[in-house]
Amino acid sequence: MLLGSIEAGGTKFVCAVGNEDYRVIDSTKFPTTTPEETLQNCIDYFKQFKDLRAISIASFGPIEIRRNSPKYGYVTDTPKPGWSNTDFVGTIKKAFDLPIAWTTDVNGSAYGEYVLSTLFNQRLNSLVYFTIGTGVGAGAVVDGKFIGDLGHPEMGHIRVKRHPDDLNFKGICPFHGDCLEGLISGPTFEARTGKKGQDVPLEDPVWDIMAYYAAQAALDTTLMMRPNKIVFGGGVVSERFLKMIRTHFKKLLNDYVSVGNLDEYLVMPLAKDNGSATVGNFALALKALVE
Ligand code: ZN
């Protein structure tokens, strides 16, 4: 039997099929264009696989996740042009009479890392996954379940204390200006330095400023949730950047509580090549099938 994964990002979609061992058997990607065209591409892709038994969607948002809402399965008021009020799950459900799991992109990644941790024999009960890329977001898994009842968490938009050398930067979040996403998402490199992130050397002080903000997010997460570990993924994150985050985190936490070995607490994803959400989707599809 096969399980389907749709990782719906603001710039690209990744569709994959895999087995119960969460192994990718086939995958494809295409750019995110109009909802009609993009969702039709998903449907055309999965129609090739006769043995498909369930599909899981991990989507950019905001999305409606409350099962009792008439808008369950919709992408709601997104800044992504054309996508507001799109019936994502309904459109896929119309094409496939299968169980469909539905959550946020970051929850999908969090779940993938949660499942992989168990496979790697790390005994853990909870995990938070931050992505720092085009946007910033986080998903949280506690005891195999996602948190959030009125809606999904929006940890990418928390407030942080400003770095004294960064006070002239207004931030780029269209809603809040200098929230976490407004200060450390990928496009902030261009807003601050006029250069794309990949062209800003790691010695540039802007990295240390961003690490300071990311460390605050990890600190607040630690103090509010006390998870077993916090994973940082997304295009902006590297081992070296994570090292800077750990340094700031250690200073900010000031040994107030114990989080164990920092190198095992603030970590990069176990899944390579941003594959966390795909693994998470396979696991969530399997769960939807069993339930
Ligand atoms: Zn914001």
Per-residue pLDDT of the chain (291 residues; tens, 9 = 90+): 999 999 999 899 999 999 999 999 999 999 999 999 999 999 999 999 999 999 999 999 899 999 999 999 999 988 888 999 999 999 999 999 999 999 999 999 999 999 999 888 888 999 999 999 999 999 999 999 999 999 999 999 999 999 999 999 999 999 999 999 999 999 999 999 999 999 999 999 999 999 999 999 999 999 999 999 999 999 999 999 999 999 999 999 999 999 999 999 999 999 988 899 999 999 999 999 998
Determine the Cα–Cα distance for residues 19 and 3; give it in Å rounded to an integer.
6
The predicted pLDDT at position 121 comes to 82
Work out the burial of residue 285: count CB atoms within 10 Å of its CB; fewer than 13 is exposed, 13-18 middle, 19 or more buried: buried
Distance 181 CA to ligand 1 centre (A): 6
- The Å distance, Cα 147 to ligand 1 centre, comes to 20
Buried b (16+ CB within 10 A) or exposed e, 78-116: beeeebeebbbbebbbeebebbbbbbbbbbbbbbbbbbb
Give CA–CA dist 215/174, Å, rounded.
23
- Report how far ligand 1's centroid is from the alpha carbon of 156 (Å): 7
Q: Could you give the domains of the chain?
A: 2-104 (3.30.420.40), 121-269 (3.30.420.40)
Cα–ligand 1 centroid distance for 172 (angstroms)? 8
- 236 Cα: distance to centroid of ligand 1 (angstroms): 18
Q: pTM of the entire structure?
A: 0.96
For residue 190, report the distance from its CA to the centre of ligand 1, in Å.
18
> What is the CA(249)–ligand 1 centre distance, in A?
22
The pLDDT, as a whole number, for residue 120 is 85
Q: How remote is the CA of residue 163 from the centroid of ligand 1, in Å?
A: 17
Q: Can you tell me the distance from the alpha carbon of 202 to that of 258, in angstroms, rounded to the nearest whole number?
A: 29
CA of 225 to the centre of ligand 1 (A): 21
> Could you tell me if 173 and 156 are in contact, meaning their C-beta atoms sit under 8 angstroms apart?
no
Is the peptide bond prior to 269 cis by the omega test (within 30 degrees of 0)? no
Q: What's the CA dihedral at 130, 212, 151, 35 to 10 degrees? A: -60
Neighbours of ion ligand 1 (CB under 5 A): 157, 173, 175-176, 179, 181
Q: Report the separation in Å between the CA atom of 155 and the middle of ligand 1, taken as the mean of its atom positions.
A: 9
How many CB atoms sit inside 10 A of residue 139's CB? 32
Question: What pLDDT is attached to residue 193?
Answer: 95
